[in-house]
């Protein structure tokens, strides 16, 4: 679960998402969600961590500043 309404551990929901290009699916190294007992003191949302291997992605595919 990624969201705990009113920071209550018994009110968890899956509402946070990460969208990536379909062609990057094979580049996913790991996906994890922060632990509620650690993060509920800071937020009602848990961090969603997606580790991608983008080292070998061509710059044109990885550059958000490129011109159309």
Tens-place pLDDT, residues 2-42:
999 999 999 999 999 999 999 899 999 999 999 999 999 99
| 62 — pLDDT class (breaks 50, 70, 90) | low
- Longest CA–CA separation in the chain, Å: 47
**Could you give the number of structural domains in the chain?**
1
**Cβ partners under 8 Å of residue 38, min gap 6:** none
Which domain covers residue 21, as residue numbers?
3-62
For 67, the token pair is 């011109």
| Distance from C-alpha of 7 to C-alpha of 47, rounded to nearest angstrom | 14
Task: Specify if 54 maps to a domain.
Answer: yes
Task: Specify if 67 maps to a domain.
Answer: no
């Amino acid at each position: 679960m990624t969201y705990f309404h009113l920071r209550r551990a018994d009110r968890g929901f899956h509402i946070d998402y990460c969208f990536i290009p379909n062609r990057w699916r094979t580049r996913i190294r790991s996906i994890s969600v922060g632990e509620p007992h650690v993060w509920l003191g800071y937020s009602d949302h848990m961090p969603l961590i997606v580790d991608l291997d983008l080292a070998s992605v061509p710059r044109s595919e990885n550059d958000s500043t490129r011109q159309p």
